[in-house]
Amino acid sequence: MNAQKPYTHEPINDIRAAADILPTPDDLAYREDSIKITITLSRKSVEFFKDEATKRQTQYQRMIRRLLDSYVDAQSS
């Protein structure tokens, strides 16, 4: 076991606030405008996303949508 240092009641120097990196509740609650489409994907792609979504307890369609959105964002820059 690691020996703990005793508390000495000394002031703590160099305290700085961390940058706020968490999204706001408004950012989490937004609903992007979307449309429904029909698309045919390869079986291996769908199985991959289904497996990964199951591991992360999310929906595979959401993962595909976010992947496509990320691609569009990168191409738009």
Q: What are the CA-CA distances from residue 47 to residues 5, 15, 26, 51 (Å)?
A: 52, 48, 33, 6
Residue 10 has pLDDT above 80, yes or no: no
pTM above 0.85? no
pLDDT tens per residue, range 17-31? 777 777 777 777 777
Task: Look at the chain and count its residues.
Answer: 77
